[in-house]
Amino acid sequence: MKTYRIAAIPGDGIGDEVISAGVEVLHALAAREGSFAFDVDRFDWGGEHYKAHGRMMPENGRDLIRGHDAILFGSAGHPDIPDHVTLWGLRLAICQPFDQYANVRPTRILPGIVSPLRGVAAGTLDWVIVRENSEGEYAGVGGRVHQGSPLEAATDVSMFTRAGVERILRFAFRLARTRPRKLLTVVTKSNAQRHAMVMWDEIAKEVAAEFPDVTWDKMLVDAMTVRMVMKPESLDTIVATNLHADILSDLAAALAGSLGIAPTANLNPERAFPSMFEPIHGSAFDITGKGIANPIGTFWSAVMMLEHLGEPAAAGRLMAAIERVTGDARCHTPDLGGTARTADVTAATIAAITGANA
Ligand code: NAD
Ligand code: K
Ligand code: MN
């Protein structure tokens, strides 16, 4: 029997609650499928590790997870530690060296979920946002001088390489091609940002020539927020820079009902390194430890992980279980206006997987 080695990194805040639920669901799914198993190694890295050792993860942390088939990640972000320290010390310390340059974020209105957008029901909003995940605004280039003096200045340089832009655009066109509508929107801000964003537009045109079967258009990011709200049905696959797509995908998650539902895959498409799967949300300090975090974002991320591992049947079974659970208002956590707890949603999902409530 095949055994997949998974590195589970809950991180901070509600990370532990949702990742524990996700691991429980994965084991139940493997038992139901019978053709594979999961060997899950848990790594308690994050804010508490930082407090004890001065680092978010051990110096050899990446070596400990390099050989795993996939990484399941919760959240980096601790109330006592600056966000840039936790983010760069853990999530980006994995994503960037592992060259997980394609961040993929599907958005759909799941059964039983009500969009805050008037008249948008299940099936009418179906997007995949592709976020450039290795450079751009989050390249880490920049600096701060004369701190504390009136001359203080700081820069965060958005650094884009032709190779980096080409590979993410090619990835997005390839993904768009697999979707029924074969539609791609390339998002930039090339009116104001006249160097890198103009290069994006030019490369988009070049790469588009390789994909004559894909219909594509381009949008400025500010106008894109309007289109997402006013004409959601006009969009399908979307590609944008690290920062722009970070923002657009939170908006997309909210339009699909809750940040608690949305999944992410951080892919190294060449498979030279493990890819990482995580809910799009963060540590959610306001609900940490209350047992009410919505675990659906983690479960859906697990679906993406199963697809990546080459287990489409299991991925389909888990997605069907998720849709069955969201379709039942008794399984809605408070972010969806319900009273269910994380444990209730987890139990209902496992029951839907095993057929216990069929
Ligand atoms: P957040 O996603 O943690 O929370 C935003 C809001 O959404 C909160 O009201 C929260 O309660 C709600 N929410 C989020 N996930 C939920 C879930 N599963 N169920 C129910 N409600 C949920 O964003 P934030 O408040 O901006 O950030 C908090 C911390 O998380 C910060 O330290 C930030 O840096 C970090 N963060 C980490 C990641 C990551 O690791 N990928 C992503 C975003 C934020
Ligand atoms: K996360
Ligand atoms: Mn984000």
Strand, coil or helix: 224:
helix
Structure tokens of 94?
């994995």
Any idea what DSSP says for residue 101?
Answer: -
How far is Cα 228 from Cα 116, in angstroms, rounded to an integer? 12
Architecture of domain 115-256: 3-Layer(aba) Sandwich (3.40)
Q: Where in the chain is the domain with CATH 3.40.718.10?
A: 1-103+269-357, 115-256
Q: Tell me, what's the pLDDT at 121?
A: 81
**Whether this model's pTM surpasses 0.90:** yes
Distance 150 CA to ligand 3 centre (A): 32
Which residues neighbour 315 within 8 Å (Cβ) at sequence distance 6 or greater? Answer: 303, 304, 306, 307
Read off the amino acid at residue 117: L
Q: Hey, is 80 helix, strand or coil?
A: coil
Q: Which residues of the chain have pLDDT under 50?
A: 358
- The pLDDT of residue 358 is 45
pLDDT tens per residue, range 108-134? 999 999 999 988 887 789 999 999 999
CB 248 within 8 A of CB 130: no
**C-alpha torsion angle, residues 283, 328, 308, 132 (rounded to 10):** -50
From the CA of 117, how far away is ligand 1's center (Å)? 22
Task: Say which ligand is closest to the CA of 242.
Answer: 3
Q: Is the ipTM of this complex over 0.95?
A: yes
DSSP-derived secondary structure letter, 48: H
Instruction: Please give the C-alpha separations between residue 333 and each of 2, 143, 176, 336, 341, in angstroms, as whole numbers.
Output: 35, 42, 33, 6, 6
Contacts of 14 (CB under 8 A, 6+ apart): 74, 75, 281, 283, 284, 287, 288, 293
**pLDDT tens, 252-277?**
999 999 999 999 999 999 999 999 99
Query: Taking CB atoms and a 6 Å cutoff, what residues make up the pocket around ligand 1?
Result: 14, 18, 75-77, 83, 87, 91, 259-260, 278, 281-287, 293-294, 297, 333, 335
CA distance linking residue 15 with residue 100, whole number of Å? 20
Please give the distance, rounded to the nearest whole angstrom, from the Cα atom of residue 282 to the centre of ligand 1. Answer: 3
Largest CA distance in the chain: 68
Q: What is the pLDDT of residue 357?
A: 52
Residues 257 and 109: beta-carbon distance below 8 Å? yes
Q: How far is the CA of 190 from the centre of ligand 2 (A)?
A: 29
Termini Cα distance of the chain: 27
Question: What dotted CATH number matches 1-103+269-357?
Answer: 3.40.718.10
